[in-house]
Structure 1
Amino acid sequence: MSAPLKHPNAVVLQPPTVTISPLIRFGRYAALSLGVVYGFFRLRQIREYHADIREWDHEKAVAAAEEAAKKKKWLAKDEMRYLMQVVNIPFEEGVKQFGVADLYKED
């Protein structure tokens, strides 16, 4: 068996001339490990914070939607009352004729 041929474009690196102290290597890997652990805990904190913000925004949106629905119903009531006045129909009869009894039900 012969040795495998090297690719003609292969990069040949010389061995390093400076050796790095094992203490420095340990310090580098320790710093890297601490950074990863800190990142994990920090990401968890940020997720919890943003979950609270999303919940608060959702509550605000629900309240705004409920308020908009109430306002829409009030406007529809006022519009029907105005229409009944313009057409000169009594209120009770107008509610029956226009079929809008559900607008005037108490919630």
Structure 2
Amino acid sequence: MSAAPHPTTVVLPEPINVSPLIRFGRWAALGAGVIYGAVRLHQIKEYHADIRQWQHEKAVVAAEEAAKKKKWLAKDEMRYLMQVVNLPFEEGVKQFGVTDLYKDE
């Protein structure tokens, strides 16, 4: 008695013999693609590193300008407050404790 195959068994046909030249060509194409991808990735990384460096320098300059503007606004605000309170400049600087704002003057 031979056992009948299960009804859900998948029967595959015999594999096709592929020429060694075609097999070599496939592997060569795969290797060339991997090498090209690695080289291209290296090029893109260098390009984007330059862009990130430029963006960082731009952000540093913008932060410095914002800090200067903030200091100028604080100075103007203190001068206005001293005028409203009717304090002399030197006395107002000492009372408000803002001598660090006026060090360069």
TM-score, with structure 1 as normaliser: 0.83
Matched, 1:23 2:21: yes
Runs of 5+ unmatched residues, structure 1: 1-5
The within-5 A match list for 1:1-107 is 11-16=10-15, 18-106=16-104
Q: 1:104 to 1:40 in 2, by over 3 A?
A: same
Q: 1:28 to 1:83 in 2, by over 3 A?
A: same
TM-score, with structure 2 as normaliser: 0.84
Query: Paired residues, what number?
Result: 101
Q: 1:83 to 1:56 in 2, by over 3 A?
A: same
Q: Per-residue deviation at 1:90?
A: 1.0
Aligned residue for 2:100, secondary structure, equals helix
CA distance, structure 2, for counterparts of residue 19 and residue 66 of structure 1: 70
Percentage identity across paired residues of the two chains:
77
Give RMSD over aligned pairs.
2.1
Q: 1:48 to 1:71 in 2, by over 3 A?
A: same
Q: Per-residue deviation at 1:76?
A: 0.2
Structure 1 residue runs of 4+, over 4 Å off? 6-10
Runs of 5+ unmatched residues, structure 2: none
